[in-house]
Amino acid sequence: MDAARIATEITNTEALLDKISAKMLELVDPTVKTYTLDSGQTTERAERHELRELIASQAVLENRLCTLRARQTGSGATLGVPGW
């Protein structure tokens, strides 16, 4: 993956994480039974019993984000090359 593609994927993944977080915050309120999220392209509806699935999706996206950031930065690894 090239640098531009990785940056785009990071942005997209962060946007998905924001949406999932918004759903989760609404659903933890005991007075809210369902939550509707309109992304502009689709309308998604989440219900309280789906909270576990949202938490699992959040974990997957967080791992993906870490992987993408590691690819972007080279995982902070340095390459030592002998000077001979």
Number of domains within the chain:
1
Better-predicted residue by pLDDT, 10 or 46: 10
Q: What pLDDT does residue 82 have? A: 64
E strands, the chain, in order: 34-38, 43-47
Residue 82 domain flag? no
Identify the domain containing residue 44 by its residue range: 3-74
Q: What pLDDT does residue 83 have? A: 63
Instruction: Write out pLDDT tens, residues 26-69.
Output: 888 888 778 776 767 777 788 878 888 888 999 999 999 988 98
Task: Give me the phi and psi of 24, to 5 degrees please.
Answer: -65, -40
Better-predicted residue by pLDDT, 32 or 1: 32
Provide the token pair at 65.
């984000």
Residue 37 domain flag? yes
Better-predicted residue by pLDDT, 73 or 1: 73
- Distances in Å between the Cα of 83 and the Cα atoms of 43, 80 are 59, 9
